[in-house]
Amino acid sequence: MTQAQADRAFAELNTPLEQRLPDVRSDEEKMLDKQFPAAKPEDYIIRYGLPGQEPEMTKPLKEFDQSARTWVSVAGFPRDVGNNLVSAIAKVAQQTQHMTPAELEQYGADEFVKLERAHGHAPEERLQAAGRMVHDLDLKTRG
């Protein structure tokens, strides 16, 4: 198949531009992706409360849920990892939603101390990597 034929086929299939590029993953990355495939948004089972104490699915929570499902799917997270991540984010959002700016600042400082304990005194490198991942995901799925 020529490049022109491939371009025409991609265009007919409405293939996103990022999927038209060559696969540059290593064999190891391809093997891991095959063993732990990303789930589809509807495959995630996300809990926003304790069993029997789930909050009402209000419009904002439904919007968050759909965004979260799309985000973890596009990020390539397996179902269990995505579920846990979104649940942790929802828990933090619930804990902090009524905090004052000063309380939020203190909460952030306290959480950074926890990161330092878990990852040593240089978590900045890991946070920068996470920031790059979030930036890349935001380019793919705005909002």
Task: Report the alpha-carbon distance of residue 48 to residue 113 in Å, rounded.
Answer: 26
The token duo for 97 is: 């939603």
Q: What is the pLDDT along the chain (143 residues), one digit of tens a residue?
A: 787 887 787 777 777 776 777 777 788 888 887 887 778 888 888 777 777 888 888 998 888 888 888 888 888 888 888 888 888 887 888 888 889 999 999 999 998 888 888 877 667 777 787 788 777 777 776 65
What is the structure's pLDDT at 100?
93
Closest-CA residue to 38 (of 70, 72, 78, 71)? 78
What is the structure's pLDDT at 107?
94
Helices (H), 1-143: 3-12, 17-20, 27-35, 59-74, 79-96, 101-119, 124-140
Helix axes 79-96, 101-119, angle to 10 degrees: 140
Give me the phi and psi of 29, to 5 degrees please: -65, -40
**DSSP notation for 34-67:** HHSPPPPGGG----SSSTT-PPP--HHHHHHHHH
